[in-house]
Structure 1
Amino acid sequence: MDLAPYVDRLRRELESAVRLALLDALSDATAETTRDLTPDPVDVRPGPAEGEAGGTARINFRLPTHLKTRAEEAAAREGLSVNTWLVRATAAALEPGARDHPAGRGHHGPQKYTGWVR
């Protein structure tokens, strides 16, 4: 029995499998390197609008678990972080006429971006 055709087929299949495994390894290494080079996400935040005070302040905000869950769901629906959603909701509650635009939606006009990128 001539085994040469079987050995040739096995060699071709093995070469293909090795190439695929190496490509997978390189792809994973590339993703890991990219992740290591940019460990922190870039966060671009709008600066204060004309006439508004600048800067931000950090607060500890405690709310019942069921409200936290609802805030997370609402933020996810709008594609926002919970922090951004809460800032917009607070602004909407405090700004005149903002009740027409829940969570600050509908704000139009020039936006100024300030910040830093690492």
Structure 2
Amino acid sequence: MDLTPYVDDLQTRLAAAADAAGDDGRRLAERLTAPLDAAVRLVLLDALSDAAGEISAELAPGSVDVRLRGGAPEFVVAAPAPAAPPTAPGEPAYGVAPASAATPAAPPAVGPADVESGATTRTTLRLPDHLKTQAETAAARDGVSVNTWLVRAVAAALEQSTGRPAAQARPQPRGSARVTGWVR
């Protein structure tokens, strides 16, 4: 989404309003337009981000994210995943991995009640490139946005650290046919 037409429109309106103040007002407006360009773009990005957050709250468990690509915002819509088809006896349910699986289990889904229970806070997270790529891959695999995936991962980590023992800490009886993972 190109913000330039909106910024240009604001600058034109500022110049028109400054014309009413005469030459001094016009000169002041000309001096302010360049520094205001970055500030206006930032305010527009904040508004777009807030709008995406409100839409995401209504779409839960789907989401809408605003991403910057080359300085221009773009919207990424993650629709809720369709219900899993029933499984045959003996097959693991959708999203359930055997304990010996090489990939880690997906974090628990954050339900609509979790989204609506409190206000959201914007946080900047700087990840090394290889972790960012892995998070994007995992989010795509789960059919959710990176933001949603990160929220679920943080929720799962906090859930484990607040009293529930980690699955690896529990002793397993020999010959156990136990299956672990998350089910949606």
Q: TM-score, normalised by structure 2?
A: 0.29
Q: TM-score, normalised by structure 1?
A: 0.43
Of structures 1 and 2, the one scoring higher in RCO (CA 8 A, sep 6+) is 1
Question: Which structure is higher in strand share?
Answer: 2
